[in-house]
């Protein structure tokens, strides 16, 4: 039981910190969240800087502790997060790295790391959200291509993407988890129509995607035909295990700013609110420790995060919402002004208990896979 880093890890931290201090002042201003081309350029530009400095690979090639240090330091320095590269760096990339052929790894990983190509996620469908395996988008083999027809929804970053990690049904007669295949679909293929969806936060993070006889080469299949569910589970364990790590550091920073604001505007004198902030301090400290625990476990088990990610995600998604509700209590009437800091994040936080598996689904996962309770209703 120890929390200290090795000398090499501390060296890595020191070098990174120095690099960030030199690099960040030259960064262009943050783009308008509704301007996707600008966002793409900004996020890919940042990724390219990381790549050139030797940090491009850090999300899946570094040791889990190094990744933790990277996220801690970049957040602390106020550096950009993955942004439009979320799916490529934290989802499709790690999946291809783990499940792809050498040719596939050569083809797709480098452009993601260099910030040249952006990925989007084509998992959910109108009739298959939390019940992901109920998806109906069909892919029929025709020579050396799959012909894909169907509809996807909540396709994150579709507007900006070059590639889509797409789940399709290749065997409609098999049990629903068995007839699914994982494909890399080029977003410029004929037959794809993207229609942005506006979220309650006003942003266009995701879109509806209509697929009309889109041809995807068989060589773009990652894993075996009809084995896509297993491949997807690998992806999702990454999503739950490490994708939210950097945000915990960000939440701790927000909490500190919140306390400073409360001290300035007088709400700090309200003991109920003050203690609520104290409890949040304990909560986010523990979530940071839980992250370190999960990383230690992942490091010991060879890198793929385990079900501990579900425990983390359940608690974190609620804590994040509580943080921004508390921010609103500190702001008072200013909480209705979208130009005021944190209010946009308060709206965005509403998605956390829904996205990447709702809290209810996560509770089923914890109960069935960790506690061994029977499957049922």
Partner 1 sequence: MDFRLTEDQRALKRGVRELLDRRFGRDALRAAVDGAGPAGAALDRELWRELGAAGFFALRLPEAAGGVGLGLPDAVLLFEEAGRALLPGPLIATHLAAGEVPGAAEGAVVVTAVDPSGLVEWLEAADVVLGRAEGVVPVRSVDPLTPLHRAPVSGGTTGTAETAETAETDPASREASLLTAAEQLGSAARTTELAVAHARTREQFGQPIGGFQAVKHLCAQMLVRTEVARVAVYAAAVTADPVEIAGARLLADEAATACARDCLQVYGGMGFTWEADVHLHLKRAWVRAERGLAGAAAEELVAASL
Range in contact with partner 1 (rule: CB under 8 A) among 4-12, 25-33, 133-141, 232-240: 4-12
Can residue 267 be called a binding residue for partner 1 (CB under 8 A)? no
Looking at beta carbons only, is 199 or 292 nearer to partner 1? 292
Can residue 261 be called a binding residue for partner 1 (CB under 8 A)? no
- The answer to whether residues 124 and 116 touch, using CB atoms and an 8 Å cutoff, is no
* Min dist. Cβ of residue 303 to partner 1 (A): 15
Can residue 168 be called a binding residue for partner 1 (CB under 8 A)? no
The answer to whether residue 23 is catalytic is no
* Min dist. Cβ of residue 2 to partner 1 (A): 6
Looking at beta carbons only, is 149 or 364 nearer to partner 1? 364
Can residue 287 be called a binding residue for partner 1 (CB under 8 A)? yes
Catalytic residue among 117, 125, 205, 239: 239
Can residue 376 be called a binding residue for partner 1 (CB under 8 A)? yes
Can residue 299 be called a binding residue for partner 1 (CB under 8 A)? yes
Among 3, 29, 102, 339, binds partner 1 (CB under 8 A): 3
* Min dist. Cβ of residue 158 to partner 1 (A): 33
Range in contact with partner 1 (rule: CB under 8 A) among 14-22, 133-141, 198-206, 275-283: 275-283
- The answer to whether residues 367 and 375 touch, using CB atoms and an 8 Å cutoff, is no
171, 168, 174, 184: which is closest to 218 by C-alpha?
184
* Min dist. Cβ of residue 84 to partner 1 (A): 31
End-to-end CA separation in angstroms for the chain: 39
Looking at beta carbons only, is 101 or 285 nearer to partner 1? 285
SS3 string, 75-118, reads: HHCCCCCCHHHHHHHHHHHHHHHHHCCHHHHHHHHHHHHCCCCC
Looking at beta carbons only, is 48 or 315 nearer to partner 1? 315
Range in contact with partner 1 (rule: CB under 8 A) among 118-126, 133-141, 173-181, 362-370: 362-370
* Min dist. Cβ of residue 372 to partner 1 (A): 7
68 vs 89, 243, 286, 309, 329, CA distance in Å?
Answer: 15, 11, 15, 15, 31
Q: 17-55: string of b/e by CB count within 10 Å (b at 16+)? A: eebbeeeeeeeeeebeeeebeebbbbbbebbebbbeeeb
Can residue 130 be called a binding residue for partner 1 (CB under 8 A)? no
Backbone conformation region of residue 202, classed left if phi is above 0, alpha if psi is from -120 to 50, else beta = left
CA gap 312, 365 in Å, rounded: 12
Q: How many residues bind partner 1 (CB under 8 A)?
A: 54
Among 76, 107, 230, 274, binds partner 1 (CB under 8 A): 274
Rounded to 10 deg, the angle between the 245-265 and 64-76 helix axes is 30
- Binding to partner 1 in span 312-331, by CB under 8 A: 314-315
Looking at beta carbons only, is 204 or 326 nearer to partner 1? 326
243, 288, 222: which is closest to 59 by C-alpha?
243
Residues 299, 356, 291, 257, Cα dihedral to 10°: 150
Alpha-helical regions (H) of the chain? 7-23, 36-52, 64-76, 86-87, 93-99, 102-113, 228-241, 245-265, 271-300, 308-331, 343-349, 359-365
Range in contact with partner 1 (rule: CB under 8 A) among 181-189, 228-236, 308-316, 339-347: 308-316
64 token code pair: 């889990």
Among 102, 190, 300, 333, binds partner 1 (CB under 8 A): 300
Interior CA angle at 277 toward 273 and 281, to 5°? 165
Where does this chain bind partner 1 (CB under 8 A)? 1-6, 9, 65, 68, 255-256, 258-259, 271, 274-279, 281-283, 285-287, 289-290, 292-293, 295-297, 299-300, 308, 311, 314-315, 360, 362-364, 366-368, 370-377
- As annotated, the active-site residues are 239
């Amino acid at each position: 039981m120890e929390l200290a880093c090795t000398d090499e890890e501390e060296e890595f931290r020191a070098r990174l910190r120095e690099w960030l201090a030199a690099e960040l002042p030259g960064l262009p201003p943050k783009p308008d969240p509704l301007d996707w081309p600008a966002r793409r350029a900004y996020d890919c530009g940042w990724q390219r800087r990381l790549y050139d400095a030797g940090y491009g690979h850090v999300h899946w090639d570094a040791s889990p502790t190094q990744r933790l240090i990277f996220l801690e330091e970049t957040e602390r320095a106020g550096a950009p997060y993955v942004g439009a590269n979320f799916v490529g760096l934290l989802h499709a990339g790690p999946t291809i790295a783990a499940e792809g052929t050498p040719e596939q790894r050569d083809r797709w990983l480098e452009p993601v790391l260099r910030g040249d190509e952006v990925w989007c996620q084509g998992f959910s469908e109108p009739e298959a959200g939390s019940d992901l395996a109920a998806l109906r988008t069909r892919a029929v083999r025709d020579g050396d291509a799959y012909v894909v027809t169907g509809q996807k929804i909540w396709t994150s970053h579709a507007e900006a993407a070059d590639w889509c990690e797409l789940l399709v049904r290749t065997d409609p007669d098999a049990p629903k988890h068995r007839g699914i295949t994982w494909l890399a679909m080029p977003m410029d293929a004929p037959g794809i129509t993207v229609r942005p969806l506006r979220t309650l936060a006003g942003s266009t993070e995701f879109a509806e995607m209509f697929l009309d006889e889109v041809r995807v080469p068989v060589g773009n299949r990652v894993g075996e035909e009809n084995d896509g569910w297993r491949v997807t589970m690998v992806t999702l364990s990454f999503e739950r295990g490490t994708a939210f790590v950097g945000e915990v550091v960000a939440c701790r920073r927000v909490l500190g700013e919140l306390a400073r604001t409360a001290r300035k505007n007088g709400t700090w004198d309200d003991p109920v609110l003050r203690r609520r902030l104290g409890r949040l301090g304990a909560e986010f400290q523990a979530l940071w420790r839980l992250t370190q625990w999960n990383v230690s476990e992942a490091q010991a088990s060879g890198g793929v995060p385990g079900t501990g990610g579900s425990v983390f995600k359940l608690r974190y998604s609620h804590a994040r919402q509580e943080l921004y509700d508390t921010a609103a209590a500190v702001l008072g009437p200013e909480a209705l002004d979208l130009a005021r800091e944190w209010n946009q994040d308060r709206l965005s936080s509403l998605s956390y208990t829904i996205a990447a598996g709702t809290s209810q689904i996560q509770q089923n996962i914890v109960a069935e896979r960790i506690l061994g309770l029977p499957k049922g209703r």
